[in-house]
Amino acid sequence: MDAIHIRGGNALFGETKIQGSKNAVLPVMAAALLIEDVCIIENCPCISDVHHMQQLLIGVGCKVSRTDQTLMIDARNLSEDTMSGENVTGMRSSITLLSAMLARMGEVTMAYPGGCVIGERPIDLHLNALRRMGVSIYEKEGCFTARVKELEGTVIRLPISSVGATENVLLASVMAKGVTVLQNAAMEPEIVTLCEFLREAGAVIEGIGGSVLIIQGGHKLHGIRFRIPADRIVAGTYLMSVLGAGGHIFLEDAPVAQMRSMLRAAEEMGAQIHIFREGLNVIADENKRAIPYLKTEIYPGFPTDMQSPLMTALSTAKGVSVIEETIFENRFHIVEQLKKMGACIEMKGKRKAVIVGVDSLLGCEVTAQELRGGAALVIAGVMALGETVVHNRHFIERGYEDICRDYQNLGVSICTG
């Protein structure tokens, strides 16, 4: 069955290791397509989104092999300029292959990407930016074709600080003629990782980590061995779990420098946080406090991906909490599922939730509708009295290598079935 079974209601104790980052590895895999050589990617998580990206790379002619956490991509000989099927339509990150394919092939036909139902994420930002670099776009029903004779460096200002659009402009710019100045670039850690990968492969990029990136195009890229950093969202998921359920856990390899906003929220709820070189030690407060107001923001603000897990943890906090969602308008699909478990949550419009803490959640059958909301329902099951069944496990497997294993390491009775 496509479900996770949890017997909850107990505090968490133990330690678990944080996997490689989903949001970092996918654009790095796309970037490897630019390189007419072999790239070795270490600490690559075994998740379904990575599998879909592997299949897309194989489909255009790459040789891809995997041993444990190490992925080998040989992009020396590409043979296909069309990308379609479930691997595209089921994963929004497939759009990051657009620029790399244009740079290598000069033309690509692509189905419109898909993904989770968390709100509008139009690809117009990507297409308009590429048009400024000399790309012609021909849109058809269900797909589009992009063509370019030579990518041209230019000045591009993104109307919103989009992670995906920043990634696509970066991949196009390193292969373009001349200099590209990208303004209002996203500053998320995944963008920094992509820039570091490209720079180690021979690209010239200035301003890494800031909102303005200057890319000198046309430098020959070469194959490299590169290690993916740990996943801040996975680490944040287990952080929110111990805040909600109570206990004392250690998160090995947690990327604490990328988690400052989450740690501030944890401390506001009363948790004790201890940072070590090896990871993060968290001791939850038995009487966790509400957070009067928190809003999601672009990095370094509180991440939208952690909104549902935080709301779940706050559902049994003492007092009233308010969360405002400023990134994706449909991040609150989880509310009705949490209310089935006894949570007291009231929506104020589409973007604000008021959470009144209850004594406890009660286990029942709930249904995941997207990746992070699905993980939040697992957190709810860990917190709840009795048994919880979370259906649509496949959504969770898009971003979590083995969520049952990780929770078992923390003492939770949990299994698939």
Which residues carry out catalysis?
A: 116
Angle at the Cα of 44 from the Cα atoms of 39 and 50, rounded to 5 degrees: 95
DSSP 3-state of 119: coil
Strands in 3-8's sheet, in edge-to-edge order, are 365-367, 386-391, 3-8, 413-416
Specify whether the CB–CB gap between 354 and 397 falls below 8 A.
no
Sign for the CA dihedral angle at 202, 206, 207, 211 comes to negative
Distance from C-alpha of 398 to C-alpha of 395, rounded to nearest angstrom: 6
- Nearest Cα residue to 212 out of 235, 191, 185, 193: 185
- Three-state DSSP class for 65? strand
Q: Which residues of 52-66 are buried (b: 16+ CB within 10 A; e: fewer)?
A: bbbebbebbbbebee
DSSP labels, 48-64: HHHHHHHHHHHHTT-EE
| Token pair 């201890």 in the structure block, residue | 274
Angle at 285 between CA 279 and CA 287, to 5 degrees: 160
Contact 306, 325 (CB under 8 A): no
- Cβ–Cβ under 8 Å, residues 304 and 295: no
Burial class (CB in 10 A: 0-12, 13-18, 19+), 343: buried
